Amino acid sequence: MGETYENALISFKNSITSDPYAPLSTNWSQNASVCSWIGVSCGLKHRRVTALNLRDYDLAGTVAPHLGNLSFLRYLDISSNSFTGMLPFELSKLRLLKVMNVGANSFTGEISTCGNIPREIGRLRMLTELYLGYINGYQGGVPAEIGNLSRLERLNIDNASLTGDIPSSIFNMSSLTYLSLSNNSLLGSILTLLNTPKLETLYLDHNKLTVCQVLSDTTLIHERPMDDETEMHEPMQLDISTSAGDEESDQRGRSKSRATKKERPRRNAPRPAKYRDFVQY
């Protein structure tokens, strides 16, 4: 295990200002192997850090840019904590990353004209799952560079104060099966959804979108969220409702309606793939 990985994690630890359950302050000791630290997983053969899972530890502080030095990291989940500041663009150096979940934190401040979802995220070409939602500090819209993630299967940016149009580049991602952009202030038409052949699950409720000709040829379904007591998803109709008042339509065939489904829990970010699947390298 090179010192680079240990130094990167120690820098991350040093940027934490509150560790109420003490997984870092008591367990992350330089006298022990990095691979034995809570939340850290290493490849079985070369013992490189391949996964970091610190979900829901109520950690506070900023995300150290040194995490970008974990060059073999495939799984990153720091969701459901209280991280603040900006997402460091150095995370774009994690070229092998497949799952990234930073949702349900308190990131703030602008990184670029796209808001504080860094456009550099489009460099993570190996990503299959990306979760950026449940953060009210974003300023701006969805970076068009996300459309460069050709392997992406699941994208969630719920409840994130996003504005502007949904970039058309998102609908060119041929691998996308799940898309959730609920509870934002996004604008525009969703006719371009017809360009996503594998899309199975879609949440766009509580936005300011219009529907052109009601997507009559699609076969999309809307999956009901699953909580800890639910064993399976119950399919329901595609949810493309907006928050723009009572039902109305105009001569162009656009329609708007109130969202009728029950409000989903908003504090905890979605659970991505199991991190144990990323320790075999």
pTM summary value: 0.77
- Burial label, 146 (beta-carbon count in 10 A; 0-12, 13-18, 19+): buried
- The pLDDT score that the predictor gives to residue 66 is 95
pLDDT tens per residue across span 177-221: 999 999 999 988 776 666 678 889 989 999 988 865 334 344 443
Could you give phi then psi for residue 258, rounded to 5 degrees? -70, 145
> Rounded mean pLDDT of 132-156?
88
DSSP of 99-155, one letter per residue? Answer: EEE--SS---S-SBTTBSS-GGGGG-TT-SEEE--S-TT--B---GGGGG-TT--EE
- The pLDDT score that the predictor gives to residue 229 is 37
In percent, how much of the chain has pLDDT > 70?
A: 69
Q: What is the rounded CA–CA span in Å between residue 3 and residue 254?
A: 58
Residue 33 pLDDT grade (very low, low, confident, very high; cuts 50, 70, 90) = very high
* DSSP 8-state secondary structure symbol assigned to residue 275: G
- The pLDDT score that the predictor gives to residue 191 is 67
Span 3-200+265-278 CATH architecture: Alpha-Beta Horseshoe (3.80)
Q: What is the rounded CA–CA span in Å between residue 204 and residue 207?
A: 7
Pairing of strands 163-165, 129-131: unpaired
Q: Break the chain into its structural domains and give their ranges.
A: 3-200+265-278
